[in-house]
Structure 1
């Protein structure tokens, strides 16, 4: 019996050690695959993301749940940016309380005057560029050679 116990003990110990090694190898492979997947997802997200830059005093809309359905979100009210907390976080005065919101929940509000001014400026710049390209084709060729 004594010899039999020694054999079983050795086999159990070896089995446990081998099992631990296999678990360690499996966990290492899983960690590597997780890092690869995270890098791939970050790459795809970063291709399309646009950073929102707001300044103190900007008028904004906040994406908040509706009163009737907490899963339904709407752009609500008109608020002012009080302070910039971090890269994407802003302090907003909501119902006399200062709350912090991420830029993903905020949207800049443009009045009609501001929107028209931006549109006119953009239109003028586009028109000037069109005239310059048509009037000075050699300038366009020189720019193309630089690249």
Structure 2
């Protein structure tokens, strides 16, 4: 009983369904309690020849790998469904104004929305070129994840 508790305490990633030890060696690790339990419970030692041991090991590894691949595919499908449920396709068009998430000058780790800047070109579906007037050559390329569409305030005066 205690050997089963210890064996089950080895970390087993949910996406694989098997511990790294079992994935590598095709069996659960033998702890000291396992060895003691084997001595107490068995009277005659079973001796396997090398060929049958190798065949059993190959079969165990094949089974574990198949189960791990199936569990991994299932976990990937669940993760993709979860991501797709929360994500939305964003896009900008040439001429739009956008805010850019950039580090502030005081602290590299503190980012804030800066702009608005005009989108002057779409390089690919997720990359846009913006006209940046502040001493950086006039144009910069940004990924869509760093951009947010600028919406004019309803009162006519920009709010900063």
Give the TM-score normalised by structure 2: 0.53
- Structure 1 alignment gaps of length 5 or more: 1-7, 118-147
Offset, 1:106? 0.6
RMSD of aligned alpha carbons: 2.9
Offset, 1:97? 6.7
Q: Which residue of 2 aligns with 1:122?
A: none
Q: Is residue 39 of structure 1 aligned with residue 77 of structure 2?
A: yes
Residue 91 of structure 1: SS of its match in structure 2? Answer: strand
| Inter-partner Cα distance in structure 2 for 1:97 and 1:15 | 70
Q: Which residue of 2 aligns with 1:86?
A: 124
Q: Is residue 108 of structure 1 aligned with residue 146 of structure 2?
A: no
Q: Is residue 66 of structure 1 aligned with residue 104 of structure 2?
A: yes
- Structure 2 alignment gaps of length 5 or more: 1-46
Q: Is residue 96 of structure 1 aligned with residue 134 of structure 2?
A: no
Give the TM-score normalised by structure 1: 0.57
Residue 94 of structure 2: SS of its match in structure 1? Answer: coil
Identify the structure with bigger relative contact order (alpha carbons < 8 Å, sequence gap 6+): 2
Greater helix share, 1 or 2? 1
| Inter-partner Cα distance in structure 1 for 2:149 and 2:87 | 16
